[in-house]
């Protein structure tokens, strides 16, 4: 199997986590990796390799009309951004961690993310 094909499969499996509300998910749950397994796979992939996955998903959602109810203000999508930390530790860290040192000299390592959310003023 070509590496590109493996990546495509991994991306699709990884993003299937976001569709857990689908009824068929429960029937196939035993075939889907756990969130920690997916996190371990995705941690080794540079973020720029996921940009095309975002574009692919966005175009499919737009093409199939799922984003139409969210268009507002002249047909635009409004996106709110929220920052969060999804990992923090004073003992465990990696080369990609951000860190902060408090006034007592304690170093806290963390990972953070920006979470975009499509919002609409329409009820």
Chain residues binding Zn ion by CB under 5 A are 94, 96-97
Q: Distance (Å, rounded) from C-alpha 117 to C-alpha 39?
A: 21
Q: Minimum distance between the CB of residue 42 and Zn ion, rounded to whole angstroms?
A: 13
Least distance CB 111 / Zn ion (angstroms) = 5
Closer to Zn ion at the Cβ: 7 or 108?
108
Name the residue nearer to Zn ion (CB basis): 36 or 80. Answer: 36
Tell me how far, at minimum, the Cβ of 57 lies from Zn ion, in Å. Answer: 26
Q: Which helix (H) or strand (E) holds 112?
A: strand 107-119
Cα–Cα distance for residue pair 120/117, rounded to 1 Å: 10
* DSSP state letters, 49-108: GGHHHHHHHHHHHHHTTTTGGG-BTTTBPEEEEEEEEEEEESS---TT-EEEE-TT--EE
Minimum CB separation of residue 87 from Zn ion in Å reads: 6
Q: Which helix (H) or strand (E) element contains residue 16?
A: none
Closer Cβ to Zn ion, 8 or 109, answer by number: 109
Using the minimum distance from each CB to Zn ion, give the nearer residue, 7 or 88: 88
């Amino acid at each position: 199997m070509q590496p590109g094909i493996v990546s495509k499969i991994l991306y699709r499996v990884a993003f299937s986590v976001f569709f857990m509300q689908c009824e068929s998910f429960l029937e196939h749950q035993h075939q889907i990796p756990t969130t920690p397994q997916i996190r371990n796979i995705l941690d080794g992939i540079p973020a720029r390799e996921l940009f095309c996955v975002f574009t692919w998903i966005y175009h499919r959602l737009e093409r199939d009309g799922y984003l139409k109810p969210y268009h507002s203000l002249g047909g635009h999508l409004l996106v709110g951004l929220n920052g969060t930390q999804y990992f923090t530790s004073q003992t465990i860290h990696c080369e990609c961690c951000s860190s902060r040192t408090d006034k007592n000299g304690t170093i806290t390592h963390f990972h953070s993310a920006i979470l975009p959310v499509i919002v609409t003023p329409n009820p």
